[in-house]
């Protein structure tokens, strides 16, 4: 038996482990299973390249066992094992990473064998939950088994053991504060969380299965006990896209999100070897307009080991609304998020993902535009968000971003420009794109615009005002205007002046009379000589004001605009018959009633008539018709 001190340079590792990883004790299991997996895959690799003479690889398992009474947790593998010298080297001289040496030695051939390591504290994380740790290990090489014991002080013992089978058993003597790790349900939860897709089968207990033997009349059902394997060692993302059908992607989605009953809209299989390694599958789920609800659904893996479901900094912000899996050994872990964002590999990864998503969207659009249009409403939030936040994506989205009309026709921006240019170009050569944000509420305004032969878009996502702002600054001579932002003549100013039926004196008088009745602290009266068929009274809210308010409500825009009081214009069409009638009415009471009624009708069209004013309106209306 040998005793000794663990390498002094890392003597302080125990307090370090306890302190820094305090909140994350549970990762010890991931680390130990990763080591067991590494050891198994190393053996596989060595047998494959003929380095492990006389060794049968077989179908090795990793097993996790709880000994509740003995307060022990066992992790067993059938991998390469270690000789006493190797224990001395790889465990006692912890500063030395065994995985690194292995990779160095088999550099070329080991590249794709999925050997891990590099999680940081690795084996020693066991001391977060155990007072004492034992290793009983027998190398695949012809050497006696070794038994290492350490009680969490730098002191260890190392002696020969009589284990005959190849592989390693780690025994954790679980400490008083960590007894949760002796609960079956807790361990199962961790195995499912971290190891659900690891490449070597992991056994945790057994389960009953019904087996049918024989056929027809002879058929017999019997219960058999089988190993309870908790993982799927070959998850869809590790397979070749060519070998997978649409159904495979869907069933993998269900495997990832068992509680999610809605099918994904489509998927993107990521697969790149150079200049970094990355595989994965991203899914577009149906998205609602609530942006925050849908984050943190993408899972990050390293060589099939779960790392986190917070991919902030790795995946561009707008894609965090997607779901699925990303697996890359090239993402540095245990570093701060701000460091991540500065890492050049991570930047490349993020750009790659953005590009793949854009390419996929483009090909979906090209292959079946009709289908793409049907999905548009469910995916537009991601695309619009992406266009706003990533300039590269903005450029690419040019080819597939859609602008729907209130009648359900979808156009790309180029198509839209082509379609609108004849009718909706104003006298200053600017193309005015009319839109509505709510088909029902803005119905009167939409109808009036359509009657003029204008197209009205339906733009209703929460960040669309930011996107319009961006489009207006990045394209020449276009502007967006909501249909109720002003009278149509003002929104799309044409050369032809409308002649006013009223002369200047009449206008002045009308204005005075109107302002006596209309609350001017809420409405700015604006006389306009409009088409005689256009509405007599229209309430509008200037585009700029409204949009700035919307933008500051969703972040950005102009500071403080959110607190501005609501201001409206009241456009009075001096060419309308009713307005002429108001002016010529002699009785004061009758005139007042006409003005009030007209104002209320305009308010009603804008959805502004409420409370007492609504009650008065209804009463007055009955009086007028009785």
- Contact residues for ligand ADP, defined by CB under 6 A: 31, 35-36, 38-39, 77, 79-82, 90-91, 97-99, 117-118, 122-123, 168
- Judged by beta carbon, residue 36 or residue 349, the one nearer Mg ion is 36
Q: What is the dihedral of CA 89, 92, 98, 104, to 10 degrees?
A: -50
* Cβ-closest position to Mg ion: 122
Question: Considering CB distances under 5 to 8 angstroms, the limit depending on partner class, which of Mg ion, ligand ADP, none binds residue 92?
Answer: none
> Phi then psi for 353, rounded to 5 degrees?
-60, -45
Whole-number minimum distance, CB 234 to ligand ADP, in Å? 22
Under a CB-based contact definition with an 8 Å cutoff, are residues 463 and 414 in contact?
A: no
- Judged by beta carbon, residue 97 or residue 447, the one nearer ligand ADP is 97
How far is residue 622's CA from residue 626's CA, in Å, rounded to a whole number? 6
- Judged by beta carbon, residue 35 or residue 302, the one nearer Mg ion is 35
Whole-number minimum distance, CB 33 to Mg ion, in Å? 9
Whole-number minimum distance, CB 71 to ligand ADP, in Å? 21
> Phi then psi for 253, rounded to 5 degrees?
-60, -45
Whole-number minimum distance, CB 7 to ligand ADP, in Å? 12
Among candidates 295, 288, 353, which has minimal Cα distance to 320? 295
Question: Considering CB distances under 5 to 8 angstroms, the limit depending on partner class, which of Mg ion, ligand ADP, none binds residue 110?
Answer: none
How far is residue 95's CA from residue 124's CA, in Å, rounded to a whole number? 11
Compute the Cα dihedral for 418, 423, 429, 435 and give only its sign: negative
- Judged by beta carbon, residue 102 or residue 249, the one nearer Mg ion is 102
Among candidates 150, 153, 133, which has minimal Cα distance to 2? 150
Question: Considering CB distances under 5 to 8 angstroms, the limit depending on partner class, which of ligand ADP, Mg ion, none binds residue 357?
Answer: none
Read off the tokens for 125.
Answer: 């994380």
Under a CB-based contact definition with an 8 Å cutoff, are residues 431 and 420 in contact?
A: yes
Among candidates 123, 141, 36, which has minimal Cα distance to 85? 141
Among candidates 43, 46, 47, which has minimal Cα distance to 35? 43
Whole-number minimum distance, CB 118 to ligand ADP, in Å? 6
- Judged by beta carbon, residue 18 or residue 512, the one nearer ligand ADP is 18
Write each residue from 507 to 526 as x if it is in contact with Mg ion (CB under 5 A), else as -, in one continuous string: --------------------
Rg (CA), the chain: 36
- Considering the rule CB under 5 A, would residue 35 count as an interface residue with Mg ion? yes
- Tell me, what DSSP letter sits at residue 425? B
- Judged by beta carbon, residue 81 or residue 536, the one nearer ligand ADP is 81
Question: Considering CB distances under 5 to 8 angstroms, the limit depending on partner class, which of Mg ion, ligand ADP, none binds residue 331?
Answer: none
Residue 570 burial (C-beta neighbours within 10 Å; 0-12, 13-18, 19+): buried
What strand order describes the sheet that includes 266-272?
266-272, 278-284, 323-327, 298-302, 305-308
Whole-number minimum distance, CB 272 to ligand ADP, in Å? 24
Question: Considering CB distances under 5 to 8 angstroms, the limit depending on partner class, which of ligand ADP, Mg ion, none binds residue 90?
Answer: ligand ADP
- Judged by beta carbon, residue 124 or residue 197, the one nearer ligand ADP is 124
Whole-number minimum distance, CB 40 to ligand ADP, in Å? 8
- Judged by beta carbon, residue 38 or residue 134, the one nearer ligand ADP is 38
- Judged by beta carbon, residue 172 or residue 388, the one nearer ligand ADP is 172
- Judged by beta carbon, residue 30 or residue 323, the one nearer Mg ion is 30
Question: Considering CB distances under 5 to 8 angstroms, the limit depending on partner class, which of Mg ion, ligand ADP, none binds residue 168?
Answer: ligand ADP
- Judged by beta carbon, residue 37 or residue 442, the one nearer Mg ion is 37
Cα–Cα distances (Å) from 230 to 86, 124, 187, in that order, read 30, 25, 11
Whole-number minimum distance, CB 97 to Mg ion, in Å? 8
Residue 521 burial (C-beta neighbours within 10 Å; 0-12, 13-18, 19+): exposed
Whole-number minimum distance, CB 90 to ligand ADP, in Å? 4
Question: Considering CB distances under 5 to 8 angstroms, the limit depending on partner class, which of Mg ion, ligand ADP, none binds residue 455?
Answer: none
Under a CB-based contact definition with an 8 Å cutoff, are residues 81 and 36 in contact?
A: no
How far is residue 226's CA from residue 207's CA, in Å, rounded to a whole number? 6
Q: How far apart are the first and last CA of the chain?
A: 111
Whole-number minimum distance, CB 480 to ligand ADP, in Å? 55
Question: Considering CB distances under 5 to 8 angstroms, the limit depending on partner class, which of ligand ADP, Mg ion, none binds residue 79?
Answer: ligand ADP
Whole-number minimum distance, CB 1 to ligand ADP, in Å? 21
Under a CB-based contact definition with an 8 Å cutoff, are residues 456 and 483 in contact?
A: yes
Write each residue from 122 to 161 as x if it is in contact with Mg ion (CB under 5 A), else as -, in one continuous string: x---------------------------------------
- Tell me, what DSSP letter sits at residue 558? S
Question: Considering CB distances under 5 to 8 angstroms, the limit depending on partner class, which of ligand ADP, Mg ion, none binds residue 98?
Answer: ligand ADP
Whole-number minimum distance, CB 102 to ligand ADP, in Å? 7
Alpha helices, H only, 475-610: 488-491, 504-517, 543-553, 577-584, 588-605
Whole-number minimum distance, CB 29 to ligand ADP, in Å? 12
Whole-number minimum distance, CB 143 to Mg ion, in Å? 22
Angle at 557 between CA 550 and CA 480, to 5 degrees: 65
Among candidates 538, 440, 439, 430, which has minimal Cα distance to 484? 538
- Judged by beta carbon, residue 36 or residue 145, the one nearer Mg ion is 36
Q: Encode 588-617 in three state secondary structure.
A: HHHHHHHHHHHHHHHHHHCCCCCHHHHHHH
Read off the tokens for 551.
Answer: 């933008």
By CB under 5 A, how many residues form the interface with Mg ion? Answer: 2
Question: Considering CB distances under 5 to 8 angstroms, the limit depending on partner class, which of ligand ADP, Mg ion, none binds residue 39?
Answer: ligand ADP
Question: Considering CB distances under 5 to 8 angstroms, the limit depending on partner class, which of Mg ion, ligand ADP, none binds residue 77?
Answer: ligand ADP
- Judged by beta carbon, residue 89 or residue 501, the one nearer Mg ion is 89
- Judged by beta carbon, residue 122 or residue 264, the one nearer Mg ion is 122
- Considering the rule CB under 5 A, would residue 98 count as an interface residue with Mg ion? no
Question: Considering CB distances under 5 to 8 angstroms, the limit depending on partner class, which of ligand ADP, Mg ion, none binds residue 528?
Answer: none
Query: Helix or strand or coil: residue 183?
Result: coil
- Tell me, what DSSP letter sits at residue 197? T
How far is residue 37's CA from residue 31's CA, in Å, rounded to a whole number? 10
- Tell me, what DSSP letter sits at residue 119? S
Question: Considering CB distances under 5 to 8 angstroms, the limit depending on partner class, which of ligand ADP, Mg ion, none binds residue 97?
Answer: ligand ADP
Q: What are the residues binding Mg ion (CB under 5 A)?
A: 35, 122
């Amino acid at each position: 038996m040998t005793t000794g001190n663990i390498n002094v340079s890392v003597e302080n590792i125990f307090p370090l482990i306890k302190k820094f990883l305090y909140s994350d004790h549970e990762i010890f299991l991931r680390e130990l299973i990763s080591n067991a997996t590494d050891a198994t895959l190393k053996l596989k690799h060595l047998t494959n390249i003929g380095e492990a003479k006389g060794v049968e690889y077989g179908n090795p398992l990793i097993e996790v066992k709880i000994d509740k009474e003995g307060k022990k947790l066992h992790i067993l593998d059938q991998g390469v094992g270690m000789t006493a010298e190797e224990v001395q080297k790889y465990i006692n001289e912890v500063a030395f990473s065994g995985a690194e040496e292995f990779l160095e030695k088999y550099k070329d051939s080991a590249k794709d064998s999925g050997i891990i390591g590099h999680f940081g504290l690795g084996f020693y994380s066991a001391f977060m939950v155990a007072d004492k740790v034992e290793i009983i290990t027998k190398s695949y090489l012809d050497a006696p088994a070794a038994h290492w014991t350490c009680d969490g002080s730098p002191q260890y013992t190392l002696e020969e053991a009589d284990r005959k089978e190849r592989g390693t058993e780690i025994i954790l003597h679980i400490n008083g504060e960590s007894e949760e790790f002796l609960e079956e349900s807790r361990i199962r939860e961790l195995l499912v969380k971290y190891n659900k897709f690891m490449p070597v089968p992991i056994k945790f207990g057994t389960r009953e299965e019904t087996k049918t033997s024989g056929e027809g009349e002879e058929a017999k059902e019997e219960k058999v006990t089988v190993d309870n394997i908790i993982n799927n060692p070959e998850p869809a993302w590790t397979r070749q896209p060519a070998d997978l059908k649409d159904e495979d992607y869907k069933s993998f989605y269900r495997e990832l999100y068992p509680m999610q009953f809605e099918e994904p809209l489509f998927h993107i299989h990521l697969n790149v070897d150079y200049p970094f390694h990355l595989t994965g599958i991203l899914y577009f789920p149906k998205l609602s307009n609530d942006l925050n609800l849908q984050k943190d659904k993408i899972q990050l893996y390293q060589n099939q080991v779960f790392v986190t479901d917070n991919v902030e900094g790795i995946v561009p912000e707008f894609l965090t609304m997607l779901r699925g899996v990303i697996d890359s050994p090239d993402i540095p872990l245990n570093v701060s998020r701000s460091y991540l964002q500065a890492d050049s590999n991570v930047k490349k990864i993020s750009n790659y993902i953005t590009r793949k998503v854009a390419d996929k969207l483009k090909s979906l659009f090209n292959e079946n535009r009709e289908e793409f249009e049907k999905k548009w409403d469910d995916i537009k939030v991601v695309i619009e968000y992406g266009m706003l936040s990533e300039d590269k994506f903005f450029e690419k989205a040019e080819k597939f971003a859609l602008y729907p009309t209130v009648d359900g026709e979808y156009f790309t921006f180029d198509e839209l420009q082509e379609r609108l240019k004849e009718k909706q170009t104003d006298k200053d050569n600017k193309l005015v794109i009319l839109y509505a944000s709510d088909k029902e509420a803005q119905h009167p305004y939409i109808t009036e615009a359509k009657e003029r032969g204008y197209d009205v878009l339906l733009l209703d996502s929460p960040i669309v005002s930011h996107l319009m702002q961006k489009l207006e600054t990045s394209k020449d001579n276009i502007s967006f205007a909501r249909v109720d932002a002003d009278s149509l003549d003002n929104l799309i100013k044409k050369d032809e002046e409308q002649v006013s039926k009223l002369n200047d004196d009449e206008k002045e008088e009308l204005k005075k009379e109107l302002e006596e009745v209309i609350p001017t602290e809420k409405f700015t009266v604006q006389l306009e000589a409009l088409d005689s068929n256009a509405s007599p009274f229209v309430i509008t809210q200037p585009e700029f004001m409204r949009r700035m308010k919307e933008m500051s409500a969703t972040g950005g825009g102009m500071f403080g605009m959110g607190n501005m009081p609501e201001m409206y214009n009241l456009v009075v069409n001096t060419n309308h018959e009713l307005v002429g009638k108001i002016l010529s009415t002699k009785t004061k009471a009758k005139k007042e009633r006409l003005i009030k009624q007209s104002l209320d009708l305009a308010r009603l069209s804008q959805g502004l008539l409420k409370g007492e004013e609504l009650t008065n309106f209804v009463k007055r209306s009955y009086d007028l018709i009785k």
